[in-house]
Amino acid sequence: MSSNALHVPVMLQRCLDMLAPALTRPGAVVVDCTLGLGGHSEALLRTFPDARLIALDRDPAALKLSGERLAPYGDRATLVHAVYDELPEVLARLGVPRVQGVLFDLGVSSMQLDEAERGFAYAQDAPLDMRMDQTTGISAAEVLNTYPPGELVRILRTYGEEKFARKIVDAVVRERAKEPFRTSARLVELIREALPQAAKRTGGNPAKRTFQALRIEVNGELTVLERAIPAAVAALAVGGRIAVLSYHSLEDRLVKQVLAAGAEITAPPGLPVVPERYQPRLKLLTRGAELPTGQEVAENRRAAPARLRGAERIREEANEGTR
């Protein structure tokens, strides 16, 4: 069975419903910032027959597979090898000043998790790589083998929210002195041995948080996201909508902060009338973060941690209108 057949897009109908009011007009442009295996992109093209799609992915393998999947849609789909914080440059290159919809489906694609040799999954032994684009950057093994202990502790605590970061890093430093880390099984075993017995009884695989932290560091995910969400909001035309699926609290917090800031009145307190330039740029489309239904989680376990937030652009900023 192909990866496409196995791939089930998370919260698909809800994402389509959220973006729909902006994408039914002729000539609407929607950007899928995280193409992956193309499940969301294909649904966007099928559901909104007048819309044009621009899809980004940093993984050449994903672009190849999705290109085959989206080929029937011809020139309605433009696929670009890019990281999603490069959205402004991509749109400028394509001559697209504003878009009507933007979708982010953050985290690791099904293909990357399912292909053992990519090294994302802690459940099977594989080279410790974890790069979403294997043509550039440093691998997870290089991070483990070369970073100073204090930096490794910071990464595990910040990106993995790992309470036992110090214990794990002490063990890593001891082991890497004997032999560099190369594969995931050795790291998983080390984590199991380093953690207190009580910590192993809760929260699933004890290696999960460390693998998440290494993946975020290797791919610069949060740094990229900090630039990408404001850039996507800035790219929206008035009436345009953004939908963002996050899979852990660090991502969701960042998305929440950007969207909430855009929905605030920024006027100094005490003004009798709020001038236009201080009015909100965004209207929030979700009350907090929306969660997948119990039925969806039962059918697709990878949907379980998903959090969906959305917003609509309701005002042009003075300095943006002149671009």
In order of 38, 50, 69, 119, the CA distances from 5 in angstroms are 11, 26, 11, 22
d(CA 264, CA 279): 7
Known binding residue 84? Answer is yes
Q: Is 212 annotated as a binding residue?
A: no
Q: Which strands sit side by side in the sheet containing 52-57, from one edge to the other?
A: 77-81, 52-57, 29-32, 99-105, 236-246, 307-313, 282-284
Residue 73 annotated as binding site: no
| Residue 85 known to bind ligand | no
Amino acid at 312: E
* Ligand-binding site membership of 134 (annotated): no
Phi, psi torsion values for 125, nearest 5 degrees? -75, 135
Q: Assess contact for 131 and 218: CB atoms under 8 A.
A: yes
Q: Is 57 annotated as a binding residue?
A: yes
39 is in an annotated binding site: yes
Using DSSP bridges, classify how beta strands 99-105 and 52-57 pair: parallel, antiparallel or unpaired.
unpaired
Apex 292 CA angle, 288 and 297, nearest 5: 150
Q: Give the DSSP letter of residue 268.
A: P
CA-based nearest residue to 218, from 120, 296, 300:
120
> Phi and psi of 239, rounded to 5°?
90, -10
Q: Which residues are annotated as a binding site?
A: 38-40, 57, 84, 105, 112
Q: Which residues are annotated as a binding site for S-adenosyl-L-methionine?
A: 38-40, 57, 84, 105, 112
